[in-house]
Amino acid sequence: MELLAQATDMVPLAKGIALGFGVMGPAIAIGLIGAAFMNGVSRNPESARFLGQILVFVSLAELFGLIAFASIFIIS
């Protein structure tokens, strides 16, 4: 009985850790995507017209962060 009480106290900690690690990956991915785009534009300025496609990749990376955020509501 006491073990169950201790386990329920750890749920907020588990949610915080899951969210922290869950959004760390997309943050790194968005930084790398932005750095690669800026590197490409600095080498070839005409490639700046591909910004729309880069934003699609950024949104795909951000989707994983939103999934990690939604998963903290599933942890009971």
Nearest to 19 by CA among 54, 76, 66: 66
Give the pLDDT band (50/70/90) at residue 2: low
pLDDT digits over 26-71, tens only? 999 999 999 999 999 999 999 899 999 999 999 999 999 999 899 8
Residue ranges and CATH numbers for the domains of the chain are: 12-71 (1.20.20.10)
Instruction: Check residue 11 and give its pLDDT.
Output: 82
Q: How would you label 25-45 residue by residue, b for 16+ Cβ within 10 Å and e otherwise?
A: ebeebbeebeeebeeebeeee
Prediction pTM value: 0.76
Q: Does residue 3 register a pLDDT over 80?
A: no
Work out the pLDDT band at 13, boundaries 50, 70, 90: confident
Residue 24's identity, in one-letter code, is M
